């Protein structure tokens, strides 16, 4: 079965909107998993889905301006069709206007009515007639910034309160840009220089990452990265530069026992195994068994053999595998993901102000449970892909207050080049998209007193 790009984007976006808890990845996997898709149609569907979510605030402001009864009165399906078409008209330069409008009208007729087709046609034609409208000039600064960079206004206000308008402006713009693809060299199989040579013919603007000694960033790959030979041979794992700093903070030695408490599909586990030179024992846990199954396949691709997986929630159980404890424990905790909006633009529309405390409670309880697995003298690293104080410093400070057998330690044994600029007076590591060109990450390294 094949499907055209716009219908597919419509199905993905409407399903994503209907399911409050679903992530874009899970919706896309579910919908595209069973389809046999033409490669070009799939690439266009991807561009439409990500583009609409990246620019949704701006698109909605425009739709609201041109809809005589306002956006709130527009049926959800029609709204999705308008967003897809308007994104093509305002943000894509290779799509003929007629293709964008006509396909939107057809979709509206198919999913709603003849009349809806007329409404979609009229609204889009008005947008085309007045390409500079609506103007943002008279808006209050926080509203203007929210619309311009398609950020939820509550988040813009939260950031302005914490860091002021100027820095928030830089952060909002950086969070709305398309990030380069960044990968980490699998040093069990190759070197960064050799990987660079292998990737060079297949990508544009290929550069080594400035701080992570193993990273490469590039744009415009000729194929999807999972189709590249270097990927199939396990020579790299996709991972942002900020995330590459976390296993360097844990810095386990070959032969040690190491626990990755929230391993997910294995971004940090893969790197930890590399640092351990595939020796010793690495236990990857996650509450979701299906993620660990995917992790196991990923480790096989990377040639990693010192790993076992264990589906488990440490806040509820204390499995035998903990034994006498681990030399190093990583808690890469579930979080808002607000530091990774540039890669996952769906996050900003699914994460609400009220979620902050929900995450904080979970982060505190996972960190406390993980602390029980650290042997005396062992290391505990807490990390989140968030820049929000209630998920980072506040969690660590509350933890240290209760667990007097732990103290902060220097974040790195061997400081990556320039990484001293990331360290706060408290000894926390924090990366920011607008300052460091990386995802927004936070990490703290602690030691259990011997």
Ligand X SMILES: C[S@@+](CC[C@H](N)C(=O)[O-])C[C@H]1O[C@@H](n2cnc3c(N)ncnc32)[C@H](O)[C@@H]1O
Enumerate binding residues for ligand X (CB under 6 A): 261-268, 285-288, 291, 313-315, 332, 334, 366
Question: CB of 141: closest distance to ligand X in angstroms?
Answer: 33
Nearer to ligand X among residue 277 and residue 315 (C-beta): 315
- Rank residues 80 and 314 by Cβ distance to ligand X and give the closer one: 314
286 is in an annotated binding site: yes
- CB of residue 222 to ligand X, shortest distance in Å: 26
Comparison of 119 and 428: residue with beta carbon closer to ligand X: 428
Q: How far is the CB of 265 from ligand X (least distance, A)?
A: 5
Q: How far is the CB of 327 from ligand X (least distance, A)?
A: 18
Q: Minimal distance in Å, beta carbon 411 to ligand X?
A: 18
Q: Tell me whether residue 332 is annotated as binding.
A: yes
Nearest distance from C-beta of residue 131 to ligand X, angstroms: 41
Question: 385 catalytic, yes or no?
Answer: yes
Catalytic residue among 127, 262, 312, 385: 385
Phi, psi of 209 (to 5 degrees): -70, 140
In the bound state with ligand X, the residue whose beta carbon lies nearer, of 97 and 298, is: 298
Q: In terms of CB distance, is 95 or 394 closer to ligand X?
A: 394
Residue number with CB closer to ligand X (249 or 263):
263
Catalytic site positions: 385
Q: Residues within the annotated binding site for S-adenosyl-L-methionine? A: 286, 313, 332
Q: Residues within the annotated binding site? A: 286, 313, 332
């Amino acid at each position: 079965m094949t499907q055209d790009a716009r219908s597919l984007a419509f199905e993905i976006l409407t399903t994503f909107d209907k399911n409050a808890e679903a992530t874009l990845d899970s919706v896309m996997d579910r919908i595209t998993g069973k389809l046999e898709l033409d490669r070009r149609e799939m690439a266009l569907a991807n561009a439409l889905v990500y583009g609409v979510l990246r620019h949704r605030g701006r698109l909605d402001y425009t739709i609201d301006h041109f809809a005589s009864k306002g956006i709130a009165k527009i049926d959800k399906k029609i709204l999705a069709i308008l967003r897809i078409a308007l994104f093509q008209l305002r943000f894509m330069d290779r799509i003929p206007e007629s293709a964008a409008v006509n396909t939107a009208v057809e979709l509206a007729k198919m999913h709603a009515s003849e009349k809806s087709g007329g409404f979609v046609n009229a609204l889009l034609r008005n947008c085309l007639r007045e390409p500079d409208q609506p103007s943002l000039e008279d808006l209050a600064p926080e509203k203007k910034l929210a619309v311009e960079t398609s950020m939820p206004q509550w988040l813009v206000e939260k950031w302005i309160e914490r860091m002021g308008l100027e820095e928030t402006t830089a952060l909002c713009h950086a969070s709305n840009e398309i990030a380069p693809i960044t990968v980490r060299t699998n040093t069990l199989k190759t070197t960064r220089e050799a990987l660079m040579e292998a990737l060079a013919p297949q990508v544009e603007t290929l550069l080594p990452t400035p701080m992570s000694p193993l990273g490469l960033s590039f744009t415009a790959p000729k194929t999807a990265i999972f189709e590249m030979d270097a990927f199939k041979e396990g020579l790299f794992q996709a991972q942002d530069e900020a995330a590459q700093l976390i296993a360097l903070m844990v810095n386990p030695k070959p032969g040690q026992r190491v626990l990755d408490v929230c391993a997910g599909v294995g971004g940090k586990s893969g790197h930890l195994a590399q640092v351990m030179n595939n020796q010793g024992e690495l236990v990857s846990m996650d509450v979701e068994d299906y993620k660990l199954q995917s992790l196991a396949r990923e480790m096989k691709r990377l040639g990693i053999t010192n790993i076992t997986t264990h589906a488990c929630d440490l806040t509820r159980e204390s499995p035998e595998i903990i034994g006498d404890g681990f030399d190093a424990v990583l808690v890469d905790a579930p979080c808002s993901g607000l530091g990774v909006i540039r890669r996952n633009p769906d996050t900003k529309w699914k994460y609400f102000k009220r979620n902050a405390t929900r995450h904080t409670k979970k982060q505190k309880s996972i960190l406390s449970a993980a602390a029980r697995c650290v042997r005396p003298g062992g290391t505990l690293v807490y990390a989140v892909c968030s820049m929000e104080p209630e998920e980072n410093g506040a969690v660590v400070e509350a933890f240290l207050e209760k667990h007097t057998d732990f103290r902060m330690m220097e974040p790195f044994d061997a400081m990556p080049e320039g990484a001293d600029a990331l360290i706060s007076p408290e000894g926390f590591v924090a990366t920011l998209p607008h300052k460091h060109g990386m995802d927004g990450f936070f990490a703290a390294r602690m030691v259990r007193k011997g």
